[in-house]
Structure 1
Amino acid sequence: MNDNLSALAVTIKAWGRELGFADVRITDVDLAHAEPGLKAWLDAGHHGEMDYMAAHGMKRARPAELVPGTVRVITARMDYLPRDAGDEWRARELKRIQDPSAAVISVYARGRDYHKVLRARLQQLAERIRNEVGDFGYRVFTDSAPVLEEELAGKSGLGWRGKHTLLLTREAGSMFFLGELFTDLPLPVDEPVTAHCGQCRACIDVCPTQAIVGPYRLDARRCISYLTIELKGSIPVELRPLIGNRVYGCDDCQLICPWNKFAQRAVIPDFDARNGLDSASLVELFAWSEDEFNRKLEGSPIRRIGHERWLRNLAVGLGNAAHGAPDSEAIVAALGARADHESALVREHVAWALAQHHKQ
């Protein structure tokens, strides 16, 4: 039976590559080493309004409690850098951040919703396993439910956790998605890899809001990805100037990471940029009606925040554009058109943005 399971593990990894995953590994479910850190992070309130993080408590570190019968986790990574990203993609992204009129959206969010892509392909992987071994217990996850993805991925040997808390690999940096298949099959496990961050702290130093409060410690309440995606209400006034022109997410800690010179292009078209989200201006996106927002971003991860928060984020960027944008009149006109928006949240951020321009 052990020989059969070893052969099955090899086959599963080959199937994973056929399905577009760059790497597939296997680990057991013992994450006891991660529990103290998780508890300290929650106790410090670093999860902010992400109540679901605290609601499940230590279950995040106990896969067998989440899915009874689980003895192994098959972890997988899928590269998401767009297929047409040139060799100078990092320089291009950094240049856009310096353009106050540009709307900067995280690279991962410019194409199709990764949740749907990875979940569908992990489901296909599970079906192939079922065809091989018959019925077996499993459940698929992709950035969903209380799963400590980076810890499982790190333990399985997919990579190591960087100081920015994201997973890193020598072969592909960090520009990839993670997915998991919890299973009751007692497959042989893979060994972890060693960490290779050394003394580097580039990600800590570059963070615009200093959300990385120490190596491997992120205060989500200050993180631009949290502020523009997870936070439902008003963005703290003191943090607004630090957000710059970042509308949805933030890639700074990844762009500065030396390992991302090895980032790999996606092998599927799903993550190619849509609707010009790699080159749009703040004014252009701010003009989208709610219908346009919903239609153009159908199948996009961005749609989850809704049009109201989309306008909130763009208003902050437009306010920050008071410092250096050449088209200030067009920006003020765009903001003025939303000054009486039905949403109090939008009105508040538009008023703040207009105030930045009136200071100039």
Structure 2
Amino acid sequence: MNGLTKEHLVARALEEGFVKVGLCRPDAVPEAAERLRAYLEAGRHGQMGWMAEREEWRGSAAALWPEARSVIMLAEAYTPECDPMAGLAQPDRGVISVYAQGKDYHDIVKRRLKRLGRWLVDRTGAEIKVFVDTAPVMEKPLAQAAGLGWQGKHTNLLARDLGSWVFLGAIFTTLEFLPDAPEVSHCGNCTACLDICPTKAFPAPYQLDARRCISYLTIEHKGPVDTELRARMGNRIYGCDDCLAVCPWNKFALAAQEIGYQPKHGLPELAELAVLDDAGFRERFAGSPVKRIGRDRFVRNVLYAIGNSGLPQLGAVAAGLVEDADPAVADAARWALERLRGKAWTG
């Protein structure tokens, strides 16, 4: 490795802003393919067809790039400064997941990965590929195999020295590093993350049915959301942090160092968000992960929050959208009005 040691790599990664580094081999999670197949066969991926389209690559990092000899897994903290669940008690406001309140983490983490990757190539001449959440890579199982943490009962990665609030990045390389020891679960008997889920999206510990998950429903699900589930979404309009926020290991969470992850705005008013047109939406959420779901799906979510608010004064906003060009928005507006009028929704 041209004199490059793991210690050199870790030191450089920390300089770039990552908080933890681990190494594993591409074939370190042989059970991943079978677990993914069972998940897909059960239909728990919902409308996320892209998971099935690249199942072979997603289930095996070795199949994704056969020439790779090591996977460098890196973690970056985005720990919130305030209680992320406090906004749930403000029904006139919309709650956006912590990770999406600032700049798009894909851009920030990928820049760090590319800088680290260039340094690695310059030092060794090795080949690399970098990945941040948009490629068919199962980052969380690989991160556990690399010793960064473990997948908790909520299926997200957490660690005793990091808590839950971490972004993951991966560098595949033709270099061979000695792998780190994999981490094991330290959840014990705790079920806080399972118990708090508003939609009961966890069929069992360490299992998630995305079709009931608010993060999936607000971001990935197209069209109207099942009426039973939309009533449980509260004022969560993009993502959900409940299962992360209640984890006891967060008492050891590291503070976020990247200023770009700080919220751009306070909790936005539902009345303001509901009237956004496409141009207004794109301007309001430029540079944010929220932008990728588009105006229609976002306003649909906002209307569900209005319907759950119990605030009759928001009825006029919903009434203005009952003839919206998007069928899911119009349906959400009618549902919100029925809720605010105290009538049972019959579909």
**Which bin holds the TM-score, normalised by the shorter protein?**
over 0.9
Q: Which residue among 110, 119, 136 is the counterpart of 2:110?
A: 119
Match in the other structure for 2:66: 68
Match in the other structure for 2:319: 336
Summarize deviations over 1:103-141 as a string: whole Å, max 9, x none.
Answer: 11100000111111111110110000111112x221111
Q: How does 1:308-347 map to 2 (within 5 A)?
A: 308-322=296-310, 325=311, 328-329=312-313, 331-347=314-330
Summarize deviations over 1:18-59 as a string: whole Å, max 9, x none.
Answer: 111111111111121222222211111111111111112232
SS of the residue corresponding to residue 175 of structure 2 reads: coil
Q: Which residue among 8, 15, 18 is the counterpart of 2:15?
A: 18
Retained in 2: the 8 A contact 1:80–1:265? Answer: yes
Q: How does 1:271-310 map to 2 (within 5 A)?
A: 271-274=261-264, 276=265, 278-310=266-298
Q: Which residue among 140, 146, 149 is the counterpart of 2:136?
A: 146
Measured in 1, the distance between the counterparts of 2:59 and 2:309 equals: 42
SS of the residue corresponding to residue 180 of structure 1 reads: strand
SS of the residue corresponding to residue 51 of structure 2 reads: helix
1:102 corresponds to 2:98: no
Retained in 2: the 8 A contact 1:204–1:213? Answer: no
Q: Which residue among 243, 247, 259 is the counterpart of 1:257?
A: 247
Measured in 1, the distance between the counterparts of 2:119 and 2:219 equals: 35
Q: Kindly state the Cα deviation for residue 205 of structure 1 after the two structures are TM-superposed.
A: 0.8
Q: How does 1:151-190 map to 2 (within 5 A)?
A: 151-190=141-180
Measured in 2, the distance between the counterparts of 1:270 and 1:43 equals: 39
SS of the residue corresponding to residue 168 of structure 2 reads: strand
Match in the other structure for 1:48: 46
1:223 corresponds to 2:213: yes
Retained in 2: the 8 A contact 1:150–1:166? Answer: yes
Unmatched runs of 5 consecutive residues or more in structure 2: none
Measured in 2, the distance between the counterparts of 1:339 and 1:35 equals: 45
SS of the residue corresponding to residue 333 of structure 2 reads: helix
Give TM-score scaled by structure 1 length. 0.92
Summarize deviations over 1:204-225 as a string: whole Å, max 9, x none.
Answer: 1110000011111000000000
Measured in 2, the distance between the counterparts of 1:296 and 1:95 equals: 23
1:57 corresponds to 2:58: no
Summarize deviations over 1:290-334 as a string: whole Å, max 9, x none.
Answer: 222111211110000000111000000000112xx4xx22x0111
Q: Which residue among 106, 116, 122 is the counterpart of 1:131?
A: 122
Measured in 1, the distance between the counterparts of 2:331 and 2:268 equals: 24
Retained in 2: the 8 A contact 1:80–1:177? Answer: yes
SS of the residue corresponding to residue 238 of structure 1 reads: helix
Stretch moving more, 286-295 or 183-192: 286-295
Measured in 2, the distance between the counterparts of 1:64 and 1:4 equals: 26
1:199 corresponds to 2:189: yes
Q: Kindly state the Cα deviation for residue 163 of structure 1 after the two structures are TM-superposed.
A: 0.2
Retained in 1: the 8 A contact 2:150–2:183? Answer: yes
SS of the residue corresponding to residue 152 of structure 1 reads: helix
Q: Kindly state the Cα deviation for residue 61 of structure 1 after the two structures are TM-superposed.
A: 2.5
What is the alpha-carbon root mean square deviation over aligned residues? 1.4
SS of the residue corresponding to residue 32 of structure 2 reads: helix
Retained in 1: the 8 A contact 2:94–2:270? Answer: yes
Q: Kindly state the Cα deviation for residue 171 of structure 1 after the two structures are TM-superposed.
A: 1.3
SS of the residue corresponding to residue 130 of structure 2 reads: strand
Match in the other structure for 1:248: 238
Letter aligned with residue 214 of structure 2:
I
Match in the other structure for 1:348: 331
CA 1:263/1:288 → structure 2, altered by over 3 Å: closer, same or farther? farther
Match in the other structure for 1:213: 203
Summarize deviations over 1:174-194 as a string: whole Å, max 9, x none.
Answer: 101001011111112111123
Shift >3 Å, 4+ stretches = none
Stretch moving more, 229-238 or 244-253: 229-238
Count of residues in Structure 1 that have an aligned counterpart in Structure 2 = 342
